[in-house]
């Protein structure tokens, strides 16, 4: 038996040593979102995507440090001016007020007793002035103590909707640390970015149409505020369009589609097929040396860095003047995980 088994064992060991090691198989493709580069057209140029912003936002905070005893409002709740929002533990403040009131009572009593001596001419004028000074100091101490006690209650300085609640019961609130924010959404603003070539064609009264799918609202925009500082990368300016919101259906953060009824300079004169392609602004990446590129997907479903140059922006899209052609597939989301030649799925 031994002469037969030993050769077999030796052969198995040789085969095991010569066989390739397991590598775990090929790396699975990286899942990304893509779109085909689209030719620029009038519809893209006149329609912009923006976000709803509140009319004003007020951060409300305590003026003194203390432990929060309770917060009596919640996010999304409507509040009126003067309404209680939160309270601090006022034990120490009440004790200080009681001490100040006791000193005030003592000073008033001394004032009455020494007042009779002063009226009788038996009290030096200097001592009488000193007693009056102590009374004034006691009254000031009482006023400060009452203010400190009142500051333990946080009330709404304006009417609106509670946007965020940053501090809860049991936490220590610091002076000027926001406890809640109050948003005025009786009217709202829609913020959009437009190309620098179009900003001159837009005035304060340019007609606009606002559509908010999340709220099921389509309405006419009002007065337009134009920003004066351009974005360094996209060369766009911010517009804020005032919109009435009496029903409070439009909430901060909602996505809005804006149509500007104005002769925009960036409208391409040639809208036929073969026009320059456009991509979402976020799909264009910048290298350390300042050059721009996008991730393209080849026919073999692998990713490649493709250098591009850009032209004017059209809403939330940018015109690609060179580097790619209409119909090429471009990665628009998930590009952070890619490397040159990586396999992708979409």
Report whether 64 contacts 105 (CB < 8 A).
no
Assign domain 46-57+185-260 to its CATH architecture.
Answer: Beta Barrel (2.40)
Please provide the DSSP assignment of 181-211 as one string.
EEEEEEEEEEEEEEETTTGGG--TT--EEEE
230 vs 324: CA distance, rounded Å: 26
Please give the pLDDT value at position 230: 87
* pLDDT score at 262: 67
Cβ–Cβ under 8 Å, residues 300 and 344: no
> Where exactly are the structural domains of the chain?
30-41+269-345, 46-57+185-260, 90-151
CATH of the structural domain 30-41+269-345, one choice from 3.40.190.10, 2.40.420.20, 3.40.1190.20, 3.40.47.10: 2.40.420.20
Alpha helices for the chain (secondary structure H): 2-18, 42-46, 91-119, 125-150
Residues 6+ apart with CB under 8 A from 301: 29, 343, 344, 345
Per-residue confidence (pLDDT) for residue 17, from 0 to 100: 46
Residue 37's SS3 state is: coil
Q: Give the pLDDT confidence score for residue 40 in this predicted structure.
A: 57
- φ and ψ of 111, to 5 deg: -65, -40
pLDDT of amino acid 232: 84
Distance CA 155, CA 178 (A): 13
Architecture of domain 90-151: Orthogonal Bundle (1.10)
Strand partners, 35: 330
* Distant-in-sequence, close-in-space partners of 232: CB < 8 Å, separation ≥ 6: none
pLDDT of residue 26: 66
Give the angle subtended at the CA of 157 by the CAs of 153 and 159, to the nearest 5°: 120
pTM score of the predicted model: 0.55
pLDDT at residue number 304: 94
What is the reported pLDDT for 25? 57
| Residues 6 or more apart whose Cβ sits within 8 Å of residue 103 | 138, 141
Sequential pLDDT tens for the chain (346 residues): 444 444 444 444 444 444 444 445 567 888 888 988 876 544 444 788 899 999 999 999 999 999 999 999 999 899 999 999 999 999 999 999 999 999 999 998 888 888 888 888 888 888 888 889 999 999 999 999 999 999 999 999 999 999 999 999 999 999 989 999 999 999 999 999 988 888 888 889 999 999 999 989 999 999 999 998 888 888 889 999 999 998 889 999 999 999 888 666 554 443 333 467 888 888 999 988 889 999 999 989 999 999 999 887 666 778 888 899 878 999 988 888 899 999 999 8
Closest-CA residue to 140 (of 174, 177, 107): 107
């Amino acid at each position: 038996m031994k002469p037969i088994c030993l050769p077999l064992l030796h052969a198995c060991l040789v085969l095991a040593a010569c066989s390739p090691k397991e590598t775990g198989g090929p790396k699975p493709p990286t899942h990304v979102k893509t779109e085909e580069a689209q030719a620029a057209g009038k519809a893209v140029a006149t329609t912009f995507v923006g976000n709803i912003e509140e009319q004003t936002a007020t951060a409300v905070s305590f003026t003194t440090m203390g432990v929060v005893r309770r917060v009596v409002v919640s996010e999304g709740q409507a509040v009126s001016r003067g309404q209680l929002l939160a309270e601090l533990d006022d034990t120490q403040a009440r004790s200080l007020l009681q001490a100040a009131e006791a000193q005030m009572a003592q000073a008033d009593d001394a004032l009455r007793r020494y007042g009779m001596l002063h009226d009788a001419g038996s009290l030096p004028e200097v001592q009488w002035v000193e007693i009056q000074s102590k009374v004034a100091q006691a009254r000031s101490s009482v006023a400060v103590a009452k203010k400190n006690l009142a500051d333990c209650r946080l009330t709404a300085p304006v009417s609106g909707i509670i946007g965020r609640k940053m501090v809860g019961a049991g936490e220590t609130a610091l002076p000027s640390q926001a406890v809640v924010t109050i948003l005025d959404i009786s009217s709202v603003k829609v913020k959009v970015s437009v190309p620098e070539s179009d900003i001159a064609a837009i005035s304060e009264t340019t007609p606009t149409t606002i559509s908010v799918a999340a709220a099921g609202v389509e309405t006419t925009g009002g007065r337009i505020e134009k920003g004066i500082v351009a974005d360094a990368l996209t060369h766009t300016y911010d517009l804020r369009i005032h919109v009435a919101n009496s029903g409070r259906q439009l909430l901060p953060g909602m996505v809005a589609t804006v149509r500007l009824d104005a002769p925009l300079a960036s409208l391409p004169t040639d809208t036929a097929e073969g026009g320059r392609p456009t991509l979402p602004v976020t799909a264009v990446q910048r290298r350390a040396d300042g050059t721009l590129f996008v991730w393209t997907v080849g026919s073999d479903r692998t990713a490649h860095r493709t250098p591009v140059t850009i032209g004017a922006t059209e809403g939330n899209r940018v015109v690609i003047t060179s580097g790619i052609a209409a119909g090429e597939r471009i990665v628009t989301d998930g590009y952070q995980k890619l490397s040159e030649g990586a396999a992708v799925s979409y």
